[in-house]
Amino acid sequence: MSNSTNFLLALENVTVSFDGFKAVNALNLYIDKGELRVIIGPNGAGKTTVLDLICGRTRVSEGSIKFKDQEITGLKEYEIVRQGIGRKFQTPSIYEDLTVFENLELSMPRGRDVAGALFWQRSAAVIERVHEIAKMIFLVDLLDRRAETLSHGQKQWLEIGMLLMQDPELLMLDEPVAGMSVSERAKTAELLNEIIKHHSVIVIEHDMKFVEKIAHRVTVLHQGRILAEGDMDTIQHDHRVKEVYLGH
Amino acid sequence: MSIIPKKKLDLELAGFALLAFMLVIVLPITVDAFRLNLVGKYLTYAFVAVGLVLCWGYTGILSLGQGVFFGLGGYCMAMFLKLEASSVANTKIQSTPGIPDFMDWNQLTSLPFFWVPFKSLPFAMIAVIAVPVVAAFILSFAMFKRRVGGVYFAIITQAVAAVLTILIIGRQGYTGGINGITDLRTLLGWDIRTDSAKYILYFLCCALLFGSMFLARFVIGSKLGRLLVAIRDKEDRVRFSGYDVAHFKVFVFCLAAAIAAVGGAMFTLQVGFMSPSFVGIVPSIEMVIFCAVGGRHSVIGAVIGTLLVNWAKTSFSESFPELWLFAMGGLFIAVVLAFPRGLAGLFTDQILPRLKRGGLSGAMPKPAPAE
């Protein structure tokens, strides 16, 4: 079982520079198994870049990223996904021309090669699994709807559901409540609290009320470095955090 | 429980049946052998259009070089036929009897090594598929692994079409040059120039085309088909769902190439020659237009589009030969602006709802949710 030195995800001394600009600078970040970590920070702090680095979308310039003690820098995106890391994008990234059911079905971690996809059978187990997830993300009545016709909040849920279909050990959610109504936000918080029973989660979020509802541990990024880390209470009273958020 | 709109697929099957009825029964009875052979020629382009539906309509890979695969398939077939037509007895007036006439004109004194295996029909038939597929594989693997896509890929396919044309024209001792490989006569002793042979080849062409259409329908109906749509819409998301996107794009591109190549081989058999004018940029773009006019999201639409545009081309250019290119350009612009989903889209979006309102309503219940 896990102990505090046996991290699920460990970023050590990670730096990435774009033409000399260090978007992330010598960052150390450790995520435990079963942890829900919220990353906050002002615009341009490097939050999304950190997720991009973990999921292989951007290559690290220096440093190491280890997932379950395995180096994952240099792996292809789909290989990292197969290790057990799922990623939700900032703007809902779903297949608009397909139905909700098909969106979820495609995210199932089976039949991922050409032959597997060509001869894929929609078995009872597949249908059951899709329904199970659809219930969790409040879309079970909309399985036949084309994803394009969903509301913005429903699209966000659908993408979270697509991650859950993959059953990753680590979910990374980039602003999951952006553009959601108040009631949708509450339901999302409920969903997240359900998810963390079985998964580790990294969330990037701006909405402080939402963060308060879900946060266990918060990391504040500023200019590519960690400014503060701790529970919500500590963070809210940290004067440096106030400074970067409110200005000088 | 199926989520794929079953009604749509059934409608498609009905369309297939109607088209088959027209092509296999009505046309052979009503038109003469010459016109039927012309339809057969159009049908060979329809193979390319079916391939384009898969790789362009469904996956979003626009290829402006399908003529390459059509041509390679056609050339492989033509090489076999040419060797059979160039027996020592047929070519005894040449300075080197037994080799194709154009080689003799170009002072070649022996058969080039890569022509030798084409003496065998089984080899040639395998090559019809294998050569274009290998070419498509090398091209697409190199591009898609590096994530070259979209308009850049289209430009590269166009460049390949240009390169192959120049190569064929420039190496005329080996390829027949700009005239192509002509004067094809027999297939294992069976004269392909007679009317009866043309009828048989026409029916063979129809059978193979419907085979390709069903293959395309199978692919589209599978999970792979939905994955292709997903790749077209959100390639990144597919990657982050754990798929190696490049493999799927390579697969569909090679499949489109294989289907186009069968069309090319049938072209050679029915028309009796193969030349670089069916390989280059212009024919490749024309094939994209056929597909766009018919509807790039519909297999049957693409086939019908090909037939209609070619029929229009033939009848139009018989009366106003100089205006045809303008008409073609105008048609393409009209399609893009007015009905981007082509004739098939026009049918499903405009005509079908009207039919339904006119009495067939109620026959189309709302699809039940998945069980």
Q: Residue B224 is nearest to which of A107, A109, A117, comparing CB atoms? A: A117
Pairwise pLDDT comparison (B9 vs B354), residue with the higher score: B354
Considering only residues B362 and B96, tell me which one the structure prediction assigns the higher pLDDT.
B96
Which among A94, A107, A148, A159 is the top mutation candidate for probing chain B, defined by the most B β-carbons within 10 Å of its own β-carbon? A107
Give the C-alpha separation, B80 to B84, whole Å.
6
Neighbours of A111 (CB within 10 A): 21
**pLDDT for res B227:** 96
CA-to-CA distance for B264 and A224, rounded, in angstroms? 57
Mutation site for B-interface testing, chosen from A118, A123, A133, A169 by largest number of B Cβ within 10 Å: A118
The reported pLDDT for the residue numbered B6 is 53
Secondary structure element (H or E) that encloses residue A24, with its range: strand A21-31
Provide the pLDDT for residue A87.
92
Q: How far apart are CA B353 and CA B63, in angstroms?
A: 33
- Does B229 contact A78 at a Cβ distance shorter than 8 Å? no
| AA letter at B62 | L
Residue A55 near chain B (CB below 8 Å) = yes
- Confirm or reject contact between B146 and chain A (CB < 8 A): no
User: Residue B285 and residue B331: Cα distance in Å, rounded?
Assistant: 13
Per-residue pLDDT, averaged over B180-188, amounts to 92
End-to-end alpha carbon distance in chain B: 5
**Does the beta-carbon distance from B219 to A118 stay under 8 Å?**
yes
Which residues of chain A neighbour B245 with C-beta distances below 8 Å? 78
Which among B147, B227, B248, B255 is the top mutation candidate for probing chain A, defined by the most A β-carbons within 10 Å of its own β-carbon? B227
| CA–CA separation, B160 and B23 (whole Å) | 34
For residue range B280-325, list pLDDT tens digits in order.
999 999 999 999 999 999 999 999 999 999 998 888 888 888 888 8
Q: What is the pLDDT of residue A207?
A: 80
The tens digit of pLDDT for each residue in B193-217 reads 999 999 999 999 999 999 999 999 9
Residue B17: band (very low, low, confident or very high) from pLDDT cuts 50, 70, 90: very high
Q: Give the type of residue at A31.
A: I
| Domains assigned to chain A | 9-246 (3.40.50.300)
Are residues A82 and B219, on separate chains, in Cβ contact within 8 Å?
Answer: no
Contact assessment for residue B267 and residue B41, using Cβ atoms and an 8 Å cutoff: yes
Q: Which of B106-120, B225-239, B250-264, B353-367 has the lowest mean pLDDT?
A: B353-367
DSSP class of residue B274 equals B
Residues of chain A found within 8 Å of residue B240, distances taken between Cβ atoms: 55, 77-78, 81, 86-87
The closest CB to that of A101, out of B3, B222, B233, belongs to B3
Which of B219, B230, B370 is the closest to A106 by Cβ? Answer: B230
Chain A contact for B238, CB < 8 A? Answer: yes
CB B57 within 8 A of CB B49: no
Give residue B5's pLDDT band: very low, low, confident or very high (50, 70, 90). Answer: low
Q: What is the pLDDT of residue B323?
A: 84
Q: Which residues of A touch B255 (CB under 8 A)?
A: none
pLDDT in tens, B25-52: 999 999 998 999 999 999 999 999 999 9
What are the tens digits of pLDDT across the range B323-367? Answer: 888 888 888 888 888 888 888 888 888 888 888 776 544 444 444
Q: Is the dihedral angle over the CA atoms A114, A117, A118, A120 positive or is it negative?
A: positive
DSSP assignment of B309-354, as one string? HHHHHHHHHHH-GGGHHHHHHHHHHHHHHH-TTHHHHHIIIIIHHH
Tokens 């997240």 belong to A192
Cβ neighbours around B262 below 10 Å, total: 27
Predicted confidence pLDDT, tens digits, chain A (248 residues): 444 457 899 999 999 988 888 889 899 999 998 889 999 888 888 889 999 999 999 999 999 999 998 899 989 999 999 999 999 998 889 999 999 999 999 999 988 999 999 999 999 999 999 999 999 999 999 999 999 999 999 999 999 999 999 999 999 999 998 888 889 999 999 999 899 889 999 999 888 888 888 877 899 998 888 888 888 888 888 888 888 876 65
Round to whole Å and give the CA distance between B96 and B110: 7
**A70-71 and A21-31 as β-strands: parallel, antiparallel, unpaired?**
unpaired
Q: Which residue in chain B is spatially nearest to A143 when comparing CA positions?
A: B369
pLDDT in tens, B126-150: 999 999 999 999 999 999 999 998 8
Mutate to test the interface with B, among A58, A72, A76, A77 (most CBs of B within 10 A): A77
B370 and A143: CB-CB below 8 Å? yes
Closest partner CB to A81 (pick from B219, B242, B248): B242
**Residue B1 pLDDT greater than 80, yes or no:** no
- Angstroms from B229 CA to nearest CA on chain A: 7
**Among B229, B234, B244, beta carbon nearest to A78:** B244
| Residue A170 DSSP class | E
Tokens of A49: 């870049």
